[in-house]
């Protein structure tokens, strides 16, 4: 009998192993189910694809609620970890904190947050804001085992 692991643990192990793995990407539960049936070990929920498929909008048009609701539907359809696009965290450090909380509650195995301020602006470098967003996203006091791994 296979050991049952949390989806967060399974996804973390995939990212930490030395071999390359492929995240099948898409935007809806049927795409995630197809990826699972084909043997993929995880699924990536794309923000741009979600916006185009669900709303007919370009990548910049979705809200945090649109994305979290879509992620929840995907998570409920498959038994593989879902890695989700969380855009810029949808706001400042506090907004990012709530975004992370909602994605965790939706059941995703992990997410990525773009390293920029919200709304994106070339005039603002936003280094301090990014630092606060990182701290807010990695240290929810009610979720002590949640951790983040910086990608840049």
117 band by pLDDT with thresholds 50, 70 and 90: low
What pLDDT was estimated at residue 54?
81
Residue 118 has pLDDT above 70, yes or no: no
pLDDT of residue 64: 93
- Token pair, residue 21, equals 């793995």
Q: How confident is the model over 52-109, as pLDDT tens digits? A: 888 787 766 788 999 999 999 999 999 999 999 999 898 888 999 999 999 999 999 9
Q: What is the CA radius of gyration of the chain?
A: 15
Mean pLDDT of 118-134: 54
* Inter-residue contact 84 to 103 (CB < 8 Å): yes
85 Cβ neighbours under 8 A, 6+ residues apart: 44, 45, 46, 47, 48, 50, 67, 111, 112
Question: pLDDT value at position 1?
Answer: 36
Task: Please tell me the CATH superfamily of domain 7-138, with its number.
Answer: Phosphoenolpyruvate-binding domains (3.20.20.60)
> Where exactly are the structural domains of the chain?
7-138
User: For the whole model, what pTM was predicted?
Assistant: 0.78
> Among 43, 60, 58, which residue's Cα sits nearest to residue 116?
60
- pLDDT above 50 for 147: no
Pairing outcome for strands 24-26 and 43-45: parallel
**Is a pLDDT exceeding 50 seen at residue 115?**
yes
């Amino acid at each position: 009998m296979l050991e049952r692991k949390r989806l967060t643990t399974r996804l973390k192990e995939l990212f930490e192993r030395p071999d390359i793995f492929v995240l099948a990407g898409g935007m809806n539960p049927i795409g995630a189910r197809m990826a699972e049936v084909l043997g993929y070990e995880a699924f990536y929920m794309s923000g741009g694809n979600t916006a185009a498929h669900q709303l007919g909008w370009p990548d910049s048009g979705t809200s945090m609620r649109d994305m979290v609701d879509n992620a929840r539907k995907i998570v409920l359809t498959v038994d593989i970890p879902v890695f989700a696009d969380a855009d810029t965290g949808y706001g400042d450090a506090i907004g990012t904190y709530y975004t992370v909380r909602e994605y965790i509650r939706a059941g995703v195995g992990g997410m990525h947050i773009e390293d920029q301020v919200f709304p994106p602006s070339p005039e603002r470098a936003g280094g301090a804001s990014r630092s606060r967003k990182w701290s807010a996203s990695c240290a929810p006091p009610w979720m002590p085992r949640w951790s983040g791994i910086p990608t840049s």
